[in-house]
Structure 1
Amino acid sequence: MPGTPEPGSALPSDAQASNAQVAAGSGNAQPVSSVHEVSTLIEQSAHDLRSSLNAIQSWAYVLDRAFDTTPAPAQRALDGIRSGMQQQLALIEEMEEGVRLLADEAPPRWQQLDLRELALQAIADRRHAAEARGVLLSPLSTDGAAIWPDASASANAPDAPDAAAYRIDGDAMRLAPLLRHLLAHCIWRAPAGGAVSVHLFSEPDYVKLRITESPPLDSQRSASRLAALTDFFGRRPPQGGETPSRQSSALLLTRRMVEMHGAVLSAESAGCDSDKVSVCIAVRFPRHMRLA
């Protein structure tokens, strides 16, 4: 409220300084880690952002109930407001997690992980977001065989691939968010009515994850996106003094987590007609980490 002092400002400035000196000299003050400070900041920022969205949502509810029969243009506007709010809430959630992961300097905790299980979980976690966008999220496929969400049933199927075929050394606390954020990026990029599919390929020394997007209506956009992603993944500066293309926060986090795993990000084109090229984002995870 106007005129309300900030916490701690009720003391005169000399008293505050004295108290600070006492705290510093008492030996009880503990240093605050950067990760903790970042977490506190992001939690408060996310709370503030959600508060504004909740207010908008409340007004949308009031407007929706203000008419016995809502006019079609008003109903479309309200539907757009709700959809936009859901997207913003999802982005806030991803931002919270992403900032914490980027600020976390703890060494990786390597263990054997099944990339199939993590990919299935990422698809399940993001299916609601895909449905809200009107995007088809296909079942996971491995070397051409579809794997449905019921992983236990798939594992018992006679033609199910060997579980060891998709095992890698990974840090579970970082690898699972990596897959979720990468999948979320592709879902947000897909047009309404489009599709996103996830594939796993077993290689002798690597397990390859590939996410395929729907081909855009304009073939030129595929070519420019492939070029922009290739430069971004390779950390190559733009040529000729051009402004670097902006990438989503999800891709920024993905690149950092991929590099930490010793994996390689690449942009590929799927086998489609020459005038309808689908953009794929691929990650090749090494099966075993080469520890220094």
Structure 2
Amino acid sequence: MTTSPTGTAGAQPATAGFAISERSAHLRAETALFMRDHVLSLVSHDLRGPLNAIHSWAYVLERKLDANDPNSQRAIAGIRSGVDQQVKLLETIVDATRAETKALALVYEPFPLHPLLVETAEEVRAGLARARGVEVRLDSQLATEQLNGDRERLAAALWLMLAFAVEASAQGAEVVLSTRADPGTWHASVTYTPNEATLNDPALPHLLEAFARKQAGEPREAKRIAWVFALCKRVTEAHGGGFEQSDAGEAGDGSPATLALRVPLSASAPR
């Protein structure tokens, strides 16, 4: 089953008069919230390694220094105190701030997948793609398949994948949402051709924050996703699935990039 948009290809980007629907505005805010918490999580994780090393080396230095030298002992105490203060800061401010999305509450109900795909694709078409002159095509192999999960959360993950792909696509380009279900898992992928200039052009309509779009184009460590996709990662993992980001080849070489999620059809709340 394949669903295609009408009246999208060839449309002119229209910054003037570009209006964001209430739902798109809500999803944009949720994207920013999850991204904030994801960045805080990375900060917490990446700072603890160096702080632990400093703490350990302080003990090594203490054994090498004269125990009767008050200046040396004061310096060691200052190092330890500084490390303890930083760890406490991480625990009381950084970790506490991201608690809202750390324990993600899901509402599990069975729902048909195909209507969700149609609705989400149309939301992105109406909310951004038509203004940008980008075609959003749904290539669905689904018929009556159902998934037991949080429909709204999964719709938000799909919306973000499609919205980013449109943001990163040049006028006249095509973004394809492909989806299928094997005996136990739902698979959905978004394929697009990245264009960095378009992604960061302030003259074009945008849904996602400039900071998020800029960071998404920077080199990433292995297995780490761009910050903007934190919602996709958190929602799919909460359902027992996963999210993957596959970049294009050389920048601007015209090769496609892919965003993909997978979720068990029988996802259920953890006990």
TM-score, length of structure 2 as denominator length: 0.51
What's the CA shift for 1:92? 5.3
Whole-Å separation in 2 of the counterparts to 1:255 and 1:171 = 14
Matches of 1:115 and 1:107, distance apart in 2? 21
| Structure 1 counterpart of 2:238 | 260
Displacement of 1:247 in angstroms is 3.4
Give 3-state SS (helix, strand or coil) of 2:124's partner: helix
CA contact (8 A) 1:226 1:268 kept: no
Inter-partner Cα distance in structure 1 for 2:104 and 2:230:
19
Task: Please state whether the residue corresponding to 1:231 is helix, strand or coil.
Answer: coil
Work out whether residues 217 and 276 of structure 1, in 8 Å CA contact, stay in contact via their aligned partners in 2: no
Distance in 2 separating the partners of 1:226 and 1:280:
16
Partner of 1:192: 171
Which protein, 1 or 2, shows the higher relative CO under an 8 Å CA cutoff with sep ≥ 6? 2
Q: Distance in 1 between matches of 2:113 and 2:130?
A: 24
1:210 is aligned to 189
Q: 1:93 to 1:173 in 2, by over 3 A?
A: closer
Q: Which AA in structure 1 matches 2:169?
A: A
For 2:16, the equivalent position in structure 1 comes to 82
Q: Which residue of 2 aligns with 1:163?
A: 144
- Measured at CA, do residues 217 and 113 of structure 1 come closer, stay the same or move farther in structure 2, by a change above 3 Å? same
Provide the residue aligned with 1:137 in structure 2: 136
Deviation at 1:82, TM superposition (A): 2.5
Give the structure 2 partner of residue 287 of structure 1: 265
Could you tell me which amino acid in structure 2 is paired with residue 135 of structure 1?
V
Match of 1:210, SS state, is: strand
Larger Rg: 1
- 1:169 is displaced (CA, Å) by 1.8
Q: Choose from 111, 115, 120 the match for 2:118.
A: 120
Deviation for aligned residue 1:215: 5.8
Contact 2:185–2:265 (Cα < 8 Å) also in 1: yes
List aligned pairs for 1:33-52, cutoff 5 A. none
Aligned CA RMSD, in angstroms, stands at 3.7
Distance (Å, rounded) in 2 between the aligned partners of 1:229 and 1:286:
27
Task: After TM superposition, give the deviation of residue 94 of structure 1 in Å.
Answer: 3.5
Structure 1 segment 62-77 matched on structure 2, within 5 A? none
Q: Which amino acid aligns with 1:176?
A: A
Gaps (5+ residues) in structure 2? Answer: 1-12, 38-99, 198-215
AA of the residue aligned to 2:234:
R
2:168, 2:193 within 8 Å by CA — same for their partners in 1? no
1:94 aligns with 2:42: no
Cα separation, partners in 2 of 1:171 and 1:133, compared to 1, 3 Å? same
Query: Is the 1:269–1:277 Cα contact (8 Å) retained in structure 2?
Result: no
The equivalent position to 1:231 in structure 2, one of 209, 216, 223, is 223
CA–CA separation in structure 2 for the residues paired with 1:227 and 1:114: 37
Q: Structure 1 residues 108 and 267, CA, compared in 2 at 3 Å: closer, same or farther?
A: same
SS of the residue corresponding to residue 175 of structure 1 reads helix
Distance 2:148 2:165 in 1: 25
**Residues 10-37 of structure 1 deviation map (CA, whole Å, 9 limit, x = unaligned):** xxxxxxxxxxxxxxxxxxxxxxxxxxxx
Aligned equivalent of 1:176: 155
Query: Distance in 1 between the 2:222 and 2:259 partners?
Result: 10
State the alpha-carbon separation in 1 of the partners of residues 183 and 218 from structure 2. 27
* Counterpart code for 1:109: V
Opposite residue 118 of structure 2, the aligned amino acid is L
CA distance in structure 1 between the partners assigned to 2:194 and 2:16 by the alignment: 27
Q: What secondary structure is seen at the aligned counterpart in 2 of 1:126?
A: helix
Deviation per residue, 1:216-243 (Å, 9 max, x gap): 599xxxxx9797496324xxxxxxxxxx
Instruction: State the one-letter code of the partner of 2:144.
Output: A
Stretch moving more, 90-99 or 125-134: 90-99
Per the normalisation by structure 1, the TM-score is 0.48
SS in 2 for 1:204: coil
